[in-house]
Structure 1
Amino acid sequence: MRNEKRSQLTGKLMLTLCKHTNRSMPLGSVASAALLSVTMALPVAAQEIQNVSFILDWIPSGEMAAYYSGVANGFFEEEGINLSISRGYGSSDTVAKIAGGVADFGIADIAAVFTGRAVAQAPVKAISAVYTHSPHSLFVLESSGIDGFDDLEGKSIAVSAGNSHRLYFPAVAERSGIDADKIKWVTADASSMAALLIAKRVDAAPFFSIHEYYQNKAAETQGEKIKVLPFVEAGFAIYSTSVIATEETLEKDPELAKKFLSALQKSLVWANDNIDEACDLHVAAVPEVALDDCVGSLTAMLAFVFNDSQEEFGLGRFGQDRLDFTYKQVAAAQDLATDFDTSTAIDESYLP
């Protein structure tokens, strides 16, 4: 009966979250990896270790290197955890799977957590911030002459169905003093947006800024160079990726949540201090990822973890003002109730 209810909940969430964001990045050379996992091979007595599953929000490209290198370094084993890592299929899918009991922990955009709770009463909470501001951005070519958002009126932007960049753009346009209605949006498959931009069939394309390095490599083969227009530079500073778990998991085994977050933070700190070594370990586990792509993506990703917000509030912790601003933007984009209590979706008590 319990499994049946979980299956029903997962199905409901997949339907109600379908409006939510699609990560706009091409799959690249790792698209063929349907499922990737890492387990620790160090000899530990069975009774001393706990098997724990962790779902990502997307494919295990270089931005995920902190997690894989954390496993390889034994940080999770030190906490009594044998961690298996699985690729994700978008934040909404990860929220639905965590709610359905498919895995113990996951990473997903906080917007998907808000939406899941507000729309489908998903019993999922964010227990740690990862990205303290969002990597949402537009990529343009330097040769286009577009230097900022105020140059975008009358231009064309590629966009995939349900893309969160499109949903958030009106707020960015307002802050930039431009008319969002004067933008031409060209519907495209997520995997083709970079090619359309480089071929100059569109003037801009939405990507997470974390992926600038390897997208620029493709542009350089055509004699072009990518310029990034981050949404945050228009004052659009919202929380993004977070660690999630179900209320049941947290109530049933609070110590596990504490140990998991302790190991995860060790992994992030170590990766921040040892980017090249972290990518060596990541590529050993995920050979489809090119080493230089990993270094480029991980370097960019860590800037969203270790920054002024992390210094002010602490690693993994949320600031209430930005949290409220984040929900306001998500509610406007997703047509959610404005009186939602964000504290019901957050629980920082398991952080070190």
Structure 2
Amino acid sequence: MRRTRNLRVLMVAVIAAVLALAAPAARAQTKITFALDWVPYGKHAMYYVALDKGYWKEEGLDVTINRGYGSGETVKRVAAGTEMYGFADIGNLIVGRSKGMKGRTIGMIHDKALHSIYTVEGYGITKLKDLEGKKLGAPVGHASRVIFPAFAAVNGIDARKVEWVDMAPEAQTPSLLARRIDAAPYFQTEYPTVKAQADKTGKKLRGWLYTDYGLDIYSNGLLTTDDRIKSKPDEVRRFVRGAYRGVEWTWNNVEAANEIFLKYHPVMSKELTIQHGKMVLDHLLSEASLKNGVGWMEKGKMERTNEVLTKYQPISPPVPTEEVYTNAFLPKLMLKPRR
């Protein structure tokens, strides 16, 4: 009798242990799609950290990361329900909302915008005004192209005198180096890759970072739809929390984070991946995020971002700033500036 009782106790304990182990796995069955703004490269390492370290799994989310085709396309895909979450530029999101796409930024990543424009020395562009009369190439939805009219306005460039050539992302740099175009907009994190290709041809780049030339606005962040925020707020909170755990780990383990990224994308250059990763982290912190936590969006700066885009894009009808973003789902992630 005692042996039977002991066997029953043991069986109950085993079943309890199995159920305990199964619980996290069962919770992890909520499938989530997450679209990047571009082809994955080093600046996206933080999301692969969240995936690889199981941060989203611990939140009950089985996340699939998909490549992007420009921020404009990511905004469209999220708004259409093709993707559940995205990583895209705020300018494209505002343009999308004016056209009825109900996306909303739920956490900032590029607090200091990464928009830039590059040319090659010898192409006749030594100052920004020289862009007039030149050909610039980029996808229609490229974030740096979308806000170029604002950048042009604050720097005395007549945007009407700039000719745009529509092209796929992978065609930009070959077209620039072959002088099929005179200049191209990029994210600053792409610079190491573009420079490496230019070096092979013996050409030198010349560039301008928008934020250094009068355009201090927000850039890329995490986004989802108003409907998802309303119907699944807990899921949104868990997605954001998992993503920013990836940000935190990457901040504290830069090279290891990029090693994780390379596990998923082994054909990428290790050296360039680390450069990309460090560069995006340099644009993560601001006074607002140091005070309120990483990802926090300041009302005044968001209003300025919206006003600049509305004025120079132009955007019609105007989009109320409060519809563009929310800080409601952000964890209180405090990071110390690097020395």
Per the shorter chain, which TM-score range?
0.7 to 0.9
Matched position secondary structure for 1:95: helix
Aligned pair count? 309
Q: 1:260 to 1:236 in 2, by over 3 A?
A: same
CA distance in 2, matches of 1:160, 1:67: 24
Gaps of 5+ in 2: 1-20, 332-339
Q: Is the 8 Å Cα contact of residues 128 and 316 (structure 1) preserved in structure 2?
A: yes
Matches within 5 A, 1:132-281: 132-142=111-121, 146=125, 148-150=127-129, 152=131, 156-161=135-140, 163-180=142-159, 183-185=161-163, 187=165, 189-190=167-168, 191-200=170-179, 202-281=181-260
Matched to 1:85, the amino acid is: I
- Using the TM superposition, give the Cα deviation of residue 217 of structure 1 relative to its aligned residue in structure 2, in angstroms: 0.5
CA distance in 1, matches of 2:134, 2:84: 44
CA distance in 1, matches of 2:153, 2:61: 47
- Over residues 254-305 of structure 1, what are the superposed CA-to-partner deviations in whole Å (9 max), with x where a residue is unaligned? 2222222112111112112222111111111122322222112222222222
Q: 1:57 to 1:131 in 2, by over 3 A?
A: same
- Using the TM superposition, give the Cα deviation of residue 216 of structure 1 relative to its aligned residue in structure 2, in angstroms: 0.4
Select the residue among 326, 329, 332 that pairs with 2:311: 332
- Using the TM superposition, give the Cα deviation of residue 339 of structure 1 relative to its aligned residue in structure 2, in angstroms: 4.6
CA distance in 2, matches of 1:328, 1:310: 22
Name the counterpart of 1:282: 261
- Using the TM superposition, give the Cα deviation of residue 161 of structure 1 relative to its aligned residue in structure 2, in angstroms: 4.3
Q: Identity, % of aligned pairs?
A: 27
Q: Which moved further from structure 2: 208-217 or 150-159?
A: 150-159
CA distance in 2, matches of 1:203, 1:96: 29
Select the residue among 79, 89, 102 that pairs with 2:59: 79
Matched to 2:54, the amino acid is: G
Matched position secondary structure for 1:207: strand
Name the counterpart of 1:16: none
CA distance in 2, matches of 1:55, 1:155: 33
Matched position secondary structure for 1:171: helix
Matched to 2:88, the amino acid is: A
Q: Is the 8 Å Cα contact of residues 313 and 319 (structure 1) preserved in structure 2?
A: no
Matched position secondary structure for 2:147: helix
- Using the TM superposition, give the Cα deviation of residue 179 of structure 1 relative to its aligned residue in structure 2, in angstroms: 4.3
- Using the TM superposition, give the Cα deviation of residue 337 of structure 1 relative to its aligned residue in structure 2, in angstroms: 3.3
Q: Is the 8 Å Cα contact of residues 148 and 229 (structure 1) preserved in structure 2?
A: no
Tell me which structure has the larger Cα radius of gyration.
2
- TM-score if structure 1 supplies the norm length? 0.77
Matched position secondary structure for 2:118: strand
- Over residues 91-112 of structure 1, what are the superposed CA-to-partner deviations in whole Å (9 max), with x where a residue is unaligned? 2332333233333322122223
Residue 346 (1) aligns with residue 320 (2): no
Select the residue among 94, 97, 110 that pairs with 1:114: 94
CA distance in 2, matches of 1:252, 1:154: 49
CA distance in 2, matches of 1:202, 1:112: 24
Q: 1:246 to 1:170 in 2, by over 3 A?
A: closer
- RMSD in angstroms over aligned alpha carbons? 2.7
Q: Which moved further from structure 2: 78-87 or 207-216?
A: 78-87
- Using the TM superposition, give the Cα deviation of residue 180 of structure 1 relative to its aligned residue in structure 2, in angstroms: 4.2
CA distance in 1, matches of 2:180, 2:64: 41
Gaps of 5+ in 1: 1-41
- Using the TM superposition, give the Cα deviation of residue 117 of structure 1 relative to its aligned residue in structure 2, in angstroms: 2.3
Q: Is the 8 Å Cα contact of residues 52 and 104 (structure 1) preserved in structure 2?
A: no
Q: 1:232 to 1:250 in 2, by over 3 A?
A: same
- TM-score if structure 2 supplies the norm length? 0.80
Name the counterpart of 2:335: none
CA distance in 2, matches of 1:81, 1:62: 23
Q: 1:309 to 1:45 in 2, by over 3 A?
A: closer
CA distance in 2, matches of 1:152, 1:103: 36
Q: 1:43 to 1:271 in 2, by over 3 A?
A: farther
Matched to 1:67, the amino acid is: Y
Matched to 1:330, the amino acid is: L
- Over residues 125-160 of structure 1, what are the superposed CA-to-partner deviations in whole Å (9 max), with x where a residue is unaligned? 211112113222111234568554255456554445
Matched to 1:185, the amino acid is: E
